[in-house]
Structure 1
Amino acid sequence: MVFAPDTEVALRSVVNLINTAANGQEHLATVKDLDGFLAAEGFTGSRTWDQAELESIRRLRGELAELWVAEEAAAAETVNRLLREARALPQLVKHHPWDWHLHATTPEAPLADRMSTEAAMAIVDVIRSKEMDRLLVCAAEDCDAVVLDLSRNRSKRYCDTGNCANRAHVAAYRARKAVS
């Protein structure tokens, strides 16, 4: 494990959120789509269930996509801004199914604030650990999905949104066969 369990979960949620717009597709087109995403990611707390909330999450998704590929100093600035805007106040909490972990907003805070704060807190760990190189964009030429490399040997290069790794390996195999 590279990061604390709650950090890894938050980082995976960031990947999944960013990748809802990967490769020109929109997987958060409706409030119902957002409901499904939040249920899959385990987000709870207050909701407004309206178009404005959906738009705020789409805006956050764009900010997090930029943050994912930012240099360390720019990432730190963005993280600090996100935490300031949400008026984050980190506190240790313990609730089912988690042991002690950090929450920096209340369950009543707007959804976008809760999600941005959770993402920012996870990126704080990434920056402090000097692990920004684990935040990648898929190596496939025709894919713009993001990748979180938590492998021990830092070998993950392809996303989980499609079959990018398989296609790359097949293409390399065919190229080798064509030469022989």
Structure 2
Amino acid sequence: MVFAHDTEVSLQAAAVLANTGLDPDTLTTVEDLDAFYEEFEFTGRRDGDEAELEAVRAIREDLYLLLTANRDEAVEMVNRMLAAAGAIPQLVRHDEWDWHLHAVGPERDLPTRIVVEAAMAMIDVIRADEMTRLGVCADDTCRGVVLDLSRNRSKRFCSTACGNRNAVAAYRRRKMS
């Protein structure tokens, strides 16, 4: 494990959410948001309505920019995001999760909690000088966020689909030559 479990989960959630805004958009219904909420085990306030869906959709570009920023830009963005939310980090323990950080209370709206958790996770990335763990998909037709938590730092594609598409293309090029 490169980072603490809660940091990894927050980074994964942010990357997945940022990538839902790519074509085709994969966060279009409240049910899609329900699945995202459950997959990443969010807790706290959940409105479960169209307004919440639109508010979450609205933060995707900011998350994308944060996850693909250089270190200095990421620092500025993290500081701005945390200040805007009035974040006050505290240790909490709930459900199956042992002690971890939350910087806003469970009563805050879901988009705010997502942004703050992503910003808090980026603090660990920045402090560990691990910005190379984040990047953009190596597929020329994709701009998806890649989060590489592998030991050998070998992840190049945002999804299996992009990886497979490039493997097939490379195979075809080898067969043609």
Say yes or no: TM over 0.5: yes
Whole-Å separation in 1 of the counterparts to 2:157 and 2:46:
34
- Measure how far apart 1:3 and its partner are: 0.7
Corresponding residue for residue 132 of structure 1: 131
Compute the TM-score of the two structures, normalised by the length of structure 1. Answer: 0.92
Deviation for aligned residue 1:7:
0.4
Which residue is equivalent to 1:168? 166
Secondary structure of the corresponding residue to residue 102 of structure 1: strand
Any idea what the Cα deviations from partners look like across 1:138-178, whole Å, max 9, x if unmatched?
11111222110111111100112x42112212221221222
The aligned runs of 1:36-47 (5 Å cut-off) are 36-47=35-46
State the Cα distance separating 1:109 from its structure 2 match.
Answer: 0.9
**Deviation of residue 44 (structure 1)?**
2.0
Match of 2:141 in 1: 142
Give, as a single letter, the amino acid of the residue that structure 1 aligns with 2:77: T
Offset from partner CA, 1:74-129 (integer Å, 9 cap, x none): 11111111111111110111222111111111110111111111010001111111
> Could you say what secondary structure the match of 1:82 adopts?
helix
Q: Which residue of 1 aligns with 2:75?
A: 76
Give me the TM-score of the superposition, normalised by structure 2: 0.94
The structural deviation recorded for 1:49 is 2.6
Distance apart, 1:57 and its partner CA: 1.0
Deviations for 1:20-59, whole angstroms, at most 9, x for unmatched residues? Answer: 122x112222223222221222112112233332222112
Task: Quote the Cα distance in structure 2 between the aligned partners of 1:95 and 1:110.
Answer: 18
Aligned residues: 177
Distance 1:130 1:137 in 2: 18
Q: Partner of 2:7 in structure 1?
A: 7
Structure 1 residue runs of 5 or longer lacking an equivalent are none
For 1:64, the equivalent position in structure 2 comes to: 63
Between the aligned residues of both structures, percent identity stands at: 55
Whichever residue aligns with residue 109 of structure 2, its letter is P
- What is the distance in 2 between the residues matched to 1:146 and 1:69? 7
Alpha-carbon RMSD across the aligned residues, in angstroms, is 1.3
The correspondence of residues 93-172 of structure 1 with structure 2, limited to 5 A, is 93-160=92-159, 162-172=160-170
The farther-off stretch of 24-33 and 93-102 is 24-33
Deviating more after overlay: 164-173 vs 151-160: 164-173
- 1:152 counterpart SS class: coil
Residue 175 of structure 2 is aligned to residue 177 of structure 1: yes
AA in 2 matched with 1:154: R
Q: Which sections of structure 2, spanning at least 5 residues, go unmatched?
A: none
Alpha-carbon distance in 2 for matches of 1:163, 1:96: 34
Matched, 1:20 2:20: yes
The aligned counterpart of 1:49 is 48
